[in-house]
Amino acid sequence: MPEIADNIKSKLSNLRIALVHDYLVQDGGAERVFAAFNKIFPESDTHVLLHNPKKSHKEFADKKIHTSFLQKWPLAKRYYEWYLPLMPLAVEHLDFSDYDLALSSSSSFAKGIIVPAHAKHVCYLHTPTRFLWENRINYLADLPHPAFVRAGLPWLLHRMRGWDKQASERADSMLTNSQTSRRRIKRYYNRDAQVIHPPVDTEHIHLSRHDGEYWLAGGRLVPYKRFDLVVKAFAKLNVPLIIFGTGPELKKLKRLAGHRTKFVGAVSDLEKIRLYRRAIGFINPQVEDFGITAVEAMSAGRPVIAYGIGGAAETVLPDKTGKFIDYQTWEDIGDAVIRHNPADYDPKAIREFAESFSHANFEKKILQAIASTLRLEDPIEEELALIEDTYAPYLN
C-alpha cells in the first residue's frame, strides 16, 4: 500500500541517511538493488570503497559518490581484486559520524562499516562473502596470479574469514534476497536474516501478445551459470535459441553452438525486453541466489524452464509459471523443451505472479524493515526499552 510507504518515509525525513555498497565497478544484480535504494532515498549520501563511473549503474551518473582511500591507488578501479587484503581496513575508515541511519547493500565488505552508537545499521546482505566461504576452493584454483602469490593466499583468506565473521555481527538488522542466502547466512554467520526479494522492473515490461519465435537465455556468460548445457541441448534439438550477454565463456559457447543458436552480446534494457516478449520461453539452468532475469521473462508472460534449486525455487511456480528440471544436464533441458506446450500456460497469470516482485513491493518491505529496526511504529515501547536497559544493572 502506497500510504504505508509514504507514512514511513515521512517519519524518516528528518534522519541523516547514508547508503553504502561494496564498490560500484560493474552493473550487476547487487548494483540494481543498490540503485533501488537510491530511488527510495534520493537525497541520501552514497558511500563505496571504489567507484568506476564508466562501468557503474546509470542511476549514479549524476550523484556524488564518497569513496575510500583506495580510490586513488594505482589501477584500483580496474583491478580492485588486487586490494582485497586492504578492504577491511578501508571500509572501517569510512566516516558515518554524521548519520542516523546506514543502509548497506553488501556481498562482501560493506556489512563491516562502523556506525556511531546513536545510529542504526540495516544491512541487505546478498550472500556471505563468496570467496571466503562458499567458493573459497574454486576461488584459489581459478586465480591467474603466479604460484608464489597463490601460495600465501590460504593464510590470508583464513585471516580475512575471522574479520568477515566479526563484521557480520555489526548490523542492527540483516535482510537478504532469498531463502537460499538466508540459510548460508545462518550457517556461516550464525544469525538470522529477513528475506526481501530483490526488485524487478516489472512496470516497464509489458505482457507479450506473441506466440514466440525462439527460446531465450542470458546474463553474464560465466561457468557457474551453465549456459553450456543450454547450448548443447539446442545444438542437438536444432531449435532456435538466442543468448544475450557477454563474459569469459562466450568463445567456448560459440564453439559448442548449433547453427540455429544466435549470440547477441550485451543488450540495452529496451532490447532485452523485446527479446523477452518474442520468446517462446526462458531457460534458467543455473543455481542463483535469486535470479532476476527469470522474473523479467515472466513479467512478459513467458514461462521459465529452470533448475529447481536456489532462487528459482522461490520465483518459479511449477506448472503455473514454468517447469523445473530435476538434474543440471543438457538432456533434461532438451527433454523439457521437447515436451513444452504453450497451451499449458496462461501468460496473464504468469505476469500477475511476476508483479509480486515489483519495485513498489520491494520499497514497502524495505521501509517496513527499517521502521522495525528503528522502532518507529511504537515510540513508547522504544522509550521503555531504553529505560529498562539503563536501569537493568540496579534491578537485580
- Would you say 289 and 224 are in contact if contact means Cβ atoms under 8 Å apart? no
Query: 295 in the Ramachandran plot: left (φ > 0), alpha (ψ -120 to 50) or beta?
Result: alpha
- Would you say 243 and 263 are in contact if contact means Cβ atoms under 8 Å apart? yes
Residue ranges of domains in the chain, CATH in brackets: 2-199+359-394 (3.40.50), 202-356 (3.40.50.2000)
Neighbours of 327 (CB within 10 A): 11
DSSP labels, 97-117: TT-SEEEEEESSSGGG----T
Better-predicted residue by pLDDT, 275 or 151: 275
pLDDT tens-place string over residues 141-172: 555 555 545 566 777 888 999 999 999 999 99
Q: How far apart are CA 312 and CA 307, in angstroms?
A: 7
Q: How far apart are CA 218 and CA 202, in angstroms?
A: 18
pLDDT tens-place string over residues 36-46: 999 999 999 99
pLDDT tens-place string over residues 292-331: 999 999 999 999 999 999 999 999 999 999 999 999 999 9
Shortest CA distance to 359 belongs to which of 20, 84, 40? Answer: 40
- Would you say 394 and 388 are in contact if contact means Cβ atoms under 8 Å apart? no
